[in-house]
Structures are given as C-alpha cells and as structure tokens.
Amino acid sequence: MVDKVQVKDELFSRSPVFSHLSASLNGLSTIRVAEAQEMVSKEFDSHQDLHTSAWFLLLETSTAFGFWLDCISVTFTAVVSLSFLVLKSDTFGGNVGLAISQSLILNGMLQHGVRLTAEVVNQMTSVERVLEYTKVPPSGWPAKGMIQFEHMNLKYCPTDPPVLRDLNFSIQPSQKVGIVGRTGAGKSSIISALFRLVKLEGTIRIDNMDTAKLGLSHLRSRISIIPQEPVLFSATLRDNLDPFHEYPDAVLWSALEDVELKEAVTGLDFFVNEGGSNFSAGQRQLVCLARAIIRNNRILALDEATANVDPQTDALIQRTIRTKFQQCTVLTIAHRLNTIMDSDKVLVMEAGIMVEYDHPHILLQNKQGHLYKMVQETGKAMAEQLHKVAEEASIQEKQPHTGCDRCVIPRLLVQWNCMQIGALWNTLDKSKVLTVYYADFGYSVDKLVSYMTNLIFCSSLATVLSAYITP
C-alpha cells in the first residue's frame, strides 16, 4: 500500500519536471526577453527536488518491503527446520531435507507472488491517471453560460492587498450584465479572473464546473473577449479571424458581413500590418467582434470596447451583440452608461468590492445608490434618458413572452383558458419546469415562493378541471 502511494507520488512529481523543461525550451526566447532565466531555473530546481525526494522514498520503501519479506521467509524456514528438533527426534533425515527444500521453494513463490501483486497495483496507477483524463468537460461545455463567483479574492502580487475582495454573485445563462465603476475599481480584473490570468482565491464556476480544475487553454478558448486594446497580428485577415484555420471561408465572410467590414477589405488574404495599423481603432474592434462571432462561444466579455470608437460604430457593435449574441452570456465593462442601461443586471464595483448588483431600473430607485449618483453625474438630459432606457427595459422584461417552457404557466394564468390548462398540464414536463424556474430566478427565495404558489395553484386547478373534462 505504502509502495503504491510512493509510486503515485513519484509519477505525479515526474510530469512537472518534463512539462517544465519542454515549456522552457519552447519559450526560450520569451524567457530571455523577460530576463526570467533565474526564476525559471529556480522553478525547475524545485520541481526536480520534489521528484528526487519522491524517487528516493520509492527506492527506500521498495528496499524495506523486500527486507521484511526476507525476514518472513527466514522465520518460516527456521520454524519448519527447528520444529523437527522440538517435536520429534526420530524423523527420517530425508524427510527433513524434503521439508526444508519445499519450504524454500514456497518462500520463493510467496516472494514472487507478493512482488507481482505489488507490481500490478503499481502499474494500475497509470490506468488511474488515464482515467483522470476522462473527467475533462464535454466538448460542448459550456452549454448554458452560467457564471458563479464564490468568495473570490484576487491579488496581482502576493504581498499586496487584494484588488478584488470577496466577490459573490451569479450570472444566469444568456443574461447581459454591465459592469461599472471608477477607474481602478477592478472591472478589468473581473475579466482577468474569468480567464484565470492571475492566481486567485475562491471559486469561479462556469456551468457548475470549477474553472480551476480545467486546463487553461480549454477554459480560455471557450470565452470570447473584445479587449480594450484590440490585438491584431501582422498576418492575413484570415489568420487574424481564424488563427487555427478551423472554419471555412463562408463563415469568415458571413462574420465580416455582420460587422459591415466586407466592403472595407479586398479579400481574406488582405494583409494586416503590425498592430493593425492599416485599420482604424473602430475597425480593429470590429475585426475582434467578427472573431468572436466566428468562435460562437457561449460567453462574451467586452472590456470598454466602445471607449475609442465613433457613435455609429458603437451603435453597430451594440446592435450586432444584441442580435448575434442573444443566446450568450455577455459581460460588458461599460465606458458609456447608455450601453448597459438596458442590461439584465448591472454590477457596480468600488475599490474591488461589489457594492450593487441588480436590474438597473431597481438600482435607480435608490437615490443614495452608487448607480443613481453615477447617472446623475452625466448631466440632467443624459440622466433622464438613462432613467427612461432602464425603465423601458424593465417593462419589457416583465412582459410575458410566449413560446418556451418557462412561460407556459404565466401564459396559462394570463390567457385563463381552462381547456388549455388541462391539456397543457398533462403534456408538461413538471420537473423541467421546476428546474427552469429554479435556475432562472437566481435562487431568489421570494420569487421562487411566489412561483411555487402559482405552480401549486395551477396544478390544483388543472386536477379539478381534468376531473370535469375527462368523461
């Protein structure tokens, strides 16, 4: 058993040595540019120290195991031989010899058997490690785009105070969330935490999967970002839109058409200069937007993407996001309050702490609130317009829409058609309705209770009615 633990330790401490070495060799030029040779060699030494310790422990436990097996064998042979002296004195010499030679063979077989068993258990460690790979998330992850922050703290430097402190909030699938706050409040750091660009404490879950347990490349490839400073490579437009050449030309053209860049370029082999200097700032962001459309991820993050574009491009970006990313969870770090006033929720940050998080219309009711003050600071005319946008968005949200599972019950209550209630209730997957309700209203107890009351009312009504309807 001890042997097995040691083999596991040895295996687990061996892989970091190899992966560190190959990563260092691949990134030699980066290490030299960043003058990080000393740091990297220290890291390598610590990985190697750990592996050497595990290796020596493995050697020692194997030796100790062999020694104790030998002790048992010697004791057994001694007991067999001495028993002839103690028990019977007139045993035939040939029999004594036979018993000793047989016990020696038996010892050899026992030792061999025990060693083989230990060996099998050790080799099975590799199977165990292969099984670990089966736990990676399915290829369609994240299917919904639900994000949960749980007691999340973020520090850029271990000795500094945390930049984000005890963040707790959840974003439901396909919600549009605006993040606002003064410069340095930690808005961009939330996006960095989502991508795990820095070490953090606490948990961030996407579709109930802890992002710390995922490979970084896997996690990062599933979230699209339009950064404040759009990054373009000096390569063809095709390489910029689809760096790994995964999509056909038709998809790339359709994305370019969506962002109205089709006319601005001569073809997919159009060469983009270093840093995208032959594009304007707005066009660079449109290329980033096209890139996000092509990847078609469930989660999109925009970091003050509208900060340096003209109002028309801004409007185009906002419109495209509303149509193309309707089913996606979108986090917008807002530079202009008007872009997020119709969001489902607004998160107000102050000095790394979440101070408000709710629908903008609800937040604007609080005259002492942070969002209210921020809106007032934009001037009287603008503030009025922002209030109006938030109010209209809240009215739109309250209106029952039809066509999906979660609307069935409110729709029934509105239409009040008894025959329909009876018929629909029987076709309804009740557990699904409950799950949708539970997930949809963010675990808010009062809303859940009120909808549960509706559900119970509806179900009793339907039972009574179906008794009448069925002959």
Ligand X SMILES: Nc1ncnc2c1ncn2[C@@H]1O[C@H](COP(=O)(O)OP(=O)(O)O)[C@@H](O)[C@H]1O
The contact set with ligand X (CB under 6 A) reads 156, 163, 181, 183-189
* Beta carbon nearer to Mg ion, 51 or 335: 335
* Gap between the Cα atoms of 239 and 36, Å rounded: 30
- Residue 9 and residue 60 in contact, taking contact as beta carbons nearer than 8 Å: no
Give the shortest CB-184-to-ligand X separation in angstroms.
Answer: 4
| 255/302 with CB nearer Mg ion | 302
- Of the pair 156, 438, the CB lying nearest ligand X is at 156
Interacting residues of 282 by C-beta distance below 8 A, sequence separation 6+:
308, 309, 310, 313
Determine contact, residues 333/302, Cβ cutoff 8 Å.
yes
Token couple for 262 = 């089709």
Separation CA 223–CA 200 (nearest Å): 18
The interface partner of residue 211, options being ligand X, Mg ion, none and the CB cut-off 5 to 8 Å by kind, is none
Least Å distance, CB 191 to Mg ion, is: 8
Q: Specify which residues 346 forms β-bridges with.
A: 178, 358
Q: How far apart are the first and last CA of the chain?
A: 69
Picked from ligand X, Mg ion, none, the partner binding residue 108 (CB below 5 to 8 A depending on kind) is none
CA distances from 245 to 130, 248, 410 (A): 30, 8, 46
Residue 188 or 285: the one with the smaller Cβ distance to Mg ion is 188
- Residue 276 interacts, among ligand X, Mg ion, none and using kind-specific CB cut-offs from 5 to 8 Å, with none
Nearer Cβ to ligand X (197/423): 197
What are the C-alpha distances in Å from 268 to residues 248, 437, 458?
Answer: 11, 45, 57
Of the pair 47, 370, the CB lying nearest ligand X is at 370
Tell me whether residue 54 or residue 190 sits nearer to ligand X (CB atom).
190
At its nearest, how many Å lie between Mg ion and the CB of residue 145? 22
Are the CB atoms for 423 and 389 separated by under 8 Å? no
Q: Which stretch binds Mg ion (CB under 5 A): 46-54, 132-140, 181-189, 252-260?
A: 181-189
Kindly state the smallest distance separating residue 155's Cβ from ligand X, in Å. 9
Best CA proximity match to 288, nearest among 270, 273, 300, 271:
300
Structural contact between residues 146 and 175, judged by C-beta atoms closer than 8 angstroms:
no
**Residue of this chain nearest to Mg ion (CB atom):** 188
Write down the least CB distance from residue 159 to ligand X, Å.
11
CA 112, 117, 123, 124: dihedral to nearest 10 degrees? 170
Task: Pick the closest to residue 187 from 342, 364, 374 (CA basis).
Answer: 374
Supply the minimum distance, in Å, between the C-beta of residue 254 and ligand X: 33
Smallest separation (angstroms) from Mg ion to the CB of 242: 27
Question: What mask of x and - would describe binding to Mg ion in positions 117 to 156, judged by CB under 5 A?
Answer: ----------------------------------------
**Binding partner selected for residue 230 from Mg ion, ligand X, none, CB under the kind-specific 5 to 8 Å limit:** none
185 binds, among Mg ion, ligand X, none (CB under 5 to 8 A by kind): ligand X
Residue 283 interacts with, from Mg ion, ligand X, none (CB under 5-8 Å by kind): none
Cα dihedral: 57, 58, 61, 65 (round 10) = -170
φ/ψ (deg, to 5) at 231: -100, 120
Question: What is the closest distance, in whole angstroms, from the C-beta atom of residue 179 to ligand X in the complex?
Answer: 8
188 binds Mg ion (CB under 5 A): yes
User: Is residue 189 a contact residue for Mg ion (CB under 5 A)?
Assistant: no
Least Å distance, CB 310 to ligand X, is 23
Residue 181, contacted partner among ligand X, Mg ion, none, CB below 5-8 A by kind: ligand X
- With CB under 5 A as the contact rule, which of the stretches 154-162, 180-188, 246-254, 420-428 interacts with Mg ion? 180-188
Residue with tokens 């950064």: 227
Neighbours of 468 (CB within 10 A): 9
How is residue 236 annotated by DSSP?
B
Q: Which does 163 bind (CB under 5 to 8 A by kind): Mg ion, ligand X, none?
A: ligand X
Distance CA(451)–CA(168), nearest Å, equals 25
Tokens 């329909």 -> residue: 420
Residue whose token pair is 């097995």: 4
Q: Which does 200 bind (CB under 5 to 8 A by kind): Mg ion, ligand X, none?
A: none
CB of 178 or CB of 186, closer to ligand X: 186
186 binds, among Mg ion, ligand X, none (CB under 5 to 8 A by kind): ligand X
**Structure token pair of residue 360:** 């903008």
Tell the smallest beta-carbon distance from residue 418 to Mg ion (Å).
Answer: 55
Residues of the shown chain interacting with Mg ion in the complex, contacts defined by CB under 5 A: 188
